[in-house]
Amino acid sequence: MLYISTRGAADGKTFADITFEGLARDGGLYVPENYPKFTADELAQLRGRDFSSVALEVLSRFWTQLPQKDLWQLCRDAWQPSIFPNGLDMFKAHDVAPITWLQDGVGIYELSNGPSLSINDFSLQFLSQVHEKHWDKGPRSITLLGATTGDMGASAEAAFGGRSDVKVVMLSPKDRMSKFQAAQLYSNKDKNILNIEIDGTFDDCQALVRELLSDEAFCKEAHLGAVNSYLWSRIAVHVAAFFYGYIQATSFNTEPVVFVVPAGNFGNAFAGWVARAMGLPILRILVATNENDAIDVFFRTGVYAPRPVSETVATSSPSMDISRAASFERFLFEVLGRNGERIAELMTELETNGRFELTKEEFNKIRRSGLAAGTSDHPNRLEMIESLWVTNHRMIDPQTADCLYTGTYLHPVGVKTLCWETVQAVKFPRITKQATGETVPLPERFNDIFERKQKKTPLPADIAALREAVAAFAKE
């Protein structure tokens, strides 16, 4: 399997080549040359397997150059029960991603049981194993650059912290995270981690990362790679999560399922589209947005007009406080017929005018894509958190509340619906207490989280300042 760019370049790169490569040389994002389909028999053979075994079958179709036995070692070591789950006592250690069924066929798909209590642990634990055991593309030592709304940064620290051959530079937006998220991110003591607090929004952080990664000369000099959610290597792991969730939720391979995912950077939604393209019988993928609702508006109108960076709304579900979703470009590329020239045109229009509008024919393709979206706001989140606490004594985070709200009102009656839980409620004590009056108990290893000394480097949203800071850290 080789990889191409959403904007037309065909570099002929392998999975290993692009493991830590965020952008193609033409500024696009990498996608596989094709999506290998699972037969009915192959799907049936996944039943009864654990997450590592299912992931092996999915990832082996994307990383065809790596021997199966070597890929199995990576999968086995990345998703051990001793690592997943690692959260509250109620989680079952025999399953890294269980489903909690509620009522009316709606379930919570628990993907937040890793060491940092976030879904990002799934992909980043795998990438850590890849670098440690099978990284032969470029210098052994690498500096990974990323941007976080609060959760991914802590997952990167958990995966790469303490490594002598990997450094991590993580950008985060000032005053845009929950108190727990900030304490978790900034209290890391590993010398190979540099946390940079940007005076701006997450979109500012992501734009800076993208601009620096576009500088080929600097990337080569600083041995710079990417760790952000739009890496194909990370999305591929989430494709496996769709397969694993489906086989847990169903009894036979023609049973339809609806998945509900938080919009975020659109990586989870696109992973669902990929799983569907590979033959997984997903009826629909619902994308839950908060007040930053550009994705929802797009699915209703065909117009993509994300808020200007300075107008990104700070909400009570901050992990989704993103205006421009990075992996949305991949979805457009696939649904609009893999026309790299058209995608480049749309992205240029977005950069120039802050928006674009699809033709009627293109919008009809979007409507037939299997994806739809919904929006919820702060009162809706409070309603869902309180309701689930009262009826099921189950505390959920605000992003999962967004998913449940969208799933409750948009899923077809009689069809099983899985809402992705991508982060644990303990990270958002203010909103959960506001909704329920209850305080979520801290996992034992986080008992002193708010007393830990925090360290961060404040910077303006300026590329020159970031380049200087990254260059200095990479040379240490």
Helical (H) or strand (E) element with 242 = helix 232-249
Distances (CA, A) of 209 to 187, 214, 375, 434: 22, 9, 28, 35
Q: Report the C-alpha gap between 207 and 111 in whole angstroms.
A: 27
- The answer to whether 341 touches 357, Cβ cutoff 8 Å, is no
Q: Give the per-residue pLDDT at 140.
A: 74
Q: Report the C-alpha gap between 247 and 43 in whole angstroms.
A: 8
Alpha helices in 318-423 (DSSP H): 328-335, 340-353, 360-367, 378-392, 398-410
Q: Give the per-residue pLDDT at 90.
A: 44
SS3 253: coil
Distances (CA, A) of 430 to 114, 382, 448: 22, 11, 17
- For residue 71, give every residue at least 6 positions away whose Cβ sits within 8 Å of its Cβ, in sequence order, or none: 56, 59, 60, 63
Task: For 450, list phi and psi in degrees, rounded to 5.
Answer: -85, -10
- The answer to whether 212 touches 198, Cβ cutoff 8 Å, is no
Per-residue pLDDT of the chain (476 residues; tens, 9 = 90+): 999 999 988 778 999 999 999 899 999 999 999 999 999 999 999 999 999 999 999 999 999 999 999 999 999 999 988 888 655 444 444 589 999 999 889 999 999 999 999 999 999 999 999 999 876 655 578 999 999 999 999 999 999 999 999 999 999 999 999 999 999 999 999 999 999 999 999 999 999 999 999 999 999 999 999 999 899 999 999 999 999 999 999 999 999 999 999 999 999 999 999 999 999 999 999 999 999 999 999 999 999 999 998 899 999 999 899 999 999 999 999 999 999 999 999 999 999 999 999 999 999 999 999 999 999 999 999 999 999 999 999 999 999 999 999 998 888 889 999 999 999 999 999 999 999 999 999 988 899 999 999 999 999 999 999 999 999 999 98
The one-character DSSP state at 441 is P
SS3 90: coil
Distances (CA, A) of 58 to 49, 201, 271, 361, 416: 13, 35, 12, 33, 23
Cβ neighbours of 476 (radius 10 Å): 9
- The answer to whether 273 touches 370, Cβ cutoff 8 Å, is yes
- For residue 355, give every residue at least 6 positions away whose Cβ sits within 8 Å of its Cβ, in sequence order, or none: 303, 304, 305, 306, 349
Task: For 270, list phi and psi in degrees, rounded to 5.
Answer: -70, -35
Q: Give the per-residue pLDDT at 9.
A: 82
Three-point CA angle 126, 134, 186, nearest 5°: 45
- For residue 277, give every residue at least 6 positions away whose Cβ sits within 8 Å of its Cβ, in sequence order, or none: 35, 37, 334
Q: Report the C-alpha gap between 271 and 254 in whole angstroms.
A: 20
One DSSP character per residue, 7-54 reads: TS----B-TTTTTT--S-TTS--EEES--PPPPHHHHHTTTT--HHHH
Whether the CA torsion 465, 469, 471, 472 is positive or negative: it is: positive
Q: Give the per-residue pLDDT at 91.
A: 47
Q: Report the C-alpha gap between 469 and 158 in whole angstroms.
A: 22
- The answer to whether 298 touches 362, Cβ cutoff 8 Å, is no
Distances (CA, A) of 15 to 27, 62, 362, 371, 431: 18, 7, 30, 26, 40
Q: Report the C-alpha gap between 12 and 37 in whole angstroms.
A: 21
Helical (H) or strand (E) element with 298 = helix 294-301
Closest CA to 266 of 343, 320, 185, 341: 320
Helical (H) or strand (E) element with 198 = strand 193-199
Q: Residue 163 is encoded by which pair of tokens?
A: 């490594």
Three-point CA angle 123, 130, 39, nearest 5°: 65
- The answer to whether 173 touches 198, Cβ cutoff 8 Å, is yes
Q: What is the pTM of this model?
A: 0.96
